[in-house]
């Protein structure tokens, strides 16, 4: 199947988004069973087979209840980018749409959701020497080096981030990417944006799940407690020798690495996981609330009503 069809194609991709611990997995399974389709996982941490407990991978019963793709299919030792996921997910969707013109994608990774439903602009390949130099300077000088460098090399894009997504200025992986494009090509990062129209062979139907803040935070705290009971501490201990890897620079792992390195107590680490997960959920909501054409439902909303809404769209 070609990816150059018009947006009015009969293929429909039901996209379920929302903050962590809100119930996306449960809803996706209910919808997959109703529409007799598969589920594309769009959680950038659940790709990795070594990170099961700390990423809240669906349990065996959930995985057996519907066919899932892109769950624990990669290793933390493999380089895997959002661009790689975009390409692989679109290829898988092409295959799935041959069997059923309704499919489901679920996840809380906004950048990865955008990659599939909208796509990204084309960027040239960058020499690895440029990337290595930026990494070395970041390790020495910290996030301020990246911020100052982007301000210098692409003031327009720096201002856009500062005004619309200021949290991105604190994200070293994203900032490194902006700067390596600027240095590696000799042109501002912003000059590559909006050059290409990305067509898709499906129309997305985007469903957002939400709850009031107190409920959301309670669900997060409960999930962290369950993770600890299920053996998160042991999982993180096994990964301690590899803590420098990009995949492990994430909530639930960083805090326990600090515990094993005697920087904080276990109780402090657990509280930091809860706090940082709550902050992460807030950022997720901010991202998804900006996503156009998203219909929001309370996490307790009657699923039959959600199914009825989707059926009207199909």
Binding residues: 18-25
What is the 3-state composition of the chain as percent helix, strand, coil, each rounded to the nearest 5? 55, 10, 35
> Which residue ranges make up the annotated binding site for substrate?
20-25
Q: Residue 98: CA atoms inside 13 Å, Cβ hemisphere, count? A: 7
Q: Residues, the chain, total?
A: 314
Strand pairing partners for 204?
A: 13
Which tokens in the block code for residue 281? 């959920």
> Which residue ranges make up the annotated binding site for ATP?
18-25
Q: Residue written as tokens 């407690």?
A: 225
Residue 97 · residue 74 · CB < 8 Å? no
Residue 178 · residue 157 · CB < 8 Å? yes
Start-to-end C-alpha separation, the chain: 20
What is the C-alpha separation between 120 and 261, in angstroms, rounded? 39
Q: What is the DSSP letter of 207?
A: E
Q: Which helix (H) or strand (E) holds 94?
A: helix 82-97
Q: For the chain, how big is the Rg over CA atoms in Å?
A: 20
């Amino acid at each position: 199947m070609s990816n150059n069809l018009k947006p009015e194609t009969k293929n429909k991709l039901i996209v379920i988004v929302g903050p962590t611990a809100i119930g996306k997995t449960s809803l996706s399974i209910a919808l997959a069973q109703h529409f007799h389709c598969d589920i594309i996982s769009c959680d950038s941490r659940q790709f990795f087979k070594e990170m099961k407990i700390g990423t809240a991978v669906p349990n065996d019963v959930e995985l057996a209840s519907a066919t899932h793709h892109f769950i624990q299919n990669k290793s933390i030792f493999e380089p895997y980018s959002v661009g790689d996921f975009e390409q692989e997910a679109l290829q898988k969707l092409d295959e799935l749409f041959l069997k059923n013109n309704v499919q489901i994608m679920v996840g809380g990774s906004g950048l990865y959701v955008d990659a599939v439903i909208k796509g990204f602009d084309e960027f040239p390949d960058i020499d690895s020497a440029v990337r290595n130099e930026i990494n070395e300077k970041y390790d020495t000088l910290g996030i301020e080096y990246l911020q100052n460098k982007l301000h210098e090399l692409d003031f327009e894009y720096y201002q856009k981030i500062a005004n619309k997504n200021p949290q991105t200025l604190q994200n070293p992986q994203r900032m490194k990417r902006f700067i390596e494009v600027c240095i590696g090509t000799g042109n501002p990062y912003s000059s590559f944006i909006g050059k290409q129209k990305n067509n898709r062979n499906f129309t997305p139907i985007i469903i957002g799940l939400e709850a009031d803040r107190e409920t959301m935070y309670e669900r997060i705290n409960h999930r962290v407690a369950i993770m600890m009971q299920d053996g998160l501490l042991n999982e993180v201990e096994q990964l301690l020798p590899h803590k420098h890897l990009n995949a492990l620079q994430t909530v639930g792992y960083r805090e326990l690495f600090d515990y094993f390195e005697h920087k904080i107590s276990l109780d402090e680490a657990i509280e930091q996981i809860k706090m940082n997960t709550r902050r992460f959920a807030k950022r997720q909501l901010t991202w998804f609330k900006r996503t156009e054409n998203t219909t929001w439902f309370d996490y307790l909303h009657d699923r039959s009503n959600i199914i009825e809404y989707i059926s009207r769209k199909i």
